[in-house]
Amino acid sequence: MWSSMGGGPNCHGCEKCQTTFAEHPDYHQPLEPHTWITRYNEITGKPYKICERCSERDEESYNESKIT
């Protein structure tokens, strides 16, 4: 997803300026919401959320999925 040229998914970027990562400011775009999908913890079998575009985990649901 990431390259040496910068960039990345439109849902992953700078929390401060709320834009995507890009080498030049002309290419920055507003952040889009994550697109959450469900994955399951391999040990407990419990569900958690992960973004299908940038693979960022929803930490709250992930931590709950680790509890046996």
SS3 27: helix
Q: What is the pLDDT of residues 2-59, one digit of tens each?
A: 445 556 789 988 889 899 988 888 888 999 999 999 999 999 999 999 999 999 999 9
In this prediction, residue 15 carries a pLDDT of 84
Query: What's the confidence (pLDDT) of residue 2?
Result: 47
pLDDT, position 68:
79
Decide if pLDDT at 1 tops 70: no
pLDDT for res 55:
94
Provide the pLDDT for residue 44.
96
Tokens of 34: 């994550």
CA angle at 14 for the pair 57 and 38, rounded to the nearest 5°: 15
Query: Quick check: 50 and 58 in contact, CB under 8 A?
Result: yes
3-state secondary structure of 26: helix
